[in-house]
Amino acid sequence: MFKAIFKKIAPSTAKLRAPETQELDASVAVIKKPYLPPQARKLGTEQGILILVGRAWAGDKGARELLELIFPGPGEKPASK
């Protein structure tokens, strides 16, 4: 999975040069990607947890409280309704 993403970011055919020295080669065809409107996609469990952890780490109080509800600390009882 990561190899496919890395190939999209840095294809092996691209020459690595500093941005200021990069020149367009006449032999390289420029292909424009078609426009795709933004879409809402269902997150996987791991992706959702990572986003929640990132928000809590950035200081979002609500995200931190939700993490504490989902993952209680060691020795703590899970919160019940």
> 67-80 pLDDT, tens per residue?
999 988 888 776 66
Instruction: Give per-residue burial for 22-58: e unless 16+ CB within 10 Å, then b.
Output: eeeeeeeeeeeeeeeeeeeeeeeeeeeeeebeebbee
- The average pLDDT across 62-71 equals 92
The total of other beta-carbon atoms located within 10 Å of residue 15's CB is: 8
**Does the reported pTM lie above 0.95?**
no
- The average pLDDT across 58-73 equals 92
Distance separating alpha carbons of residues 34 and 17, to the nearest angstrom: 27
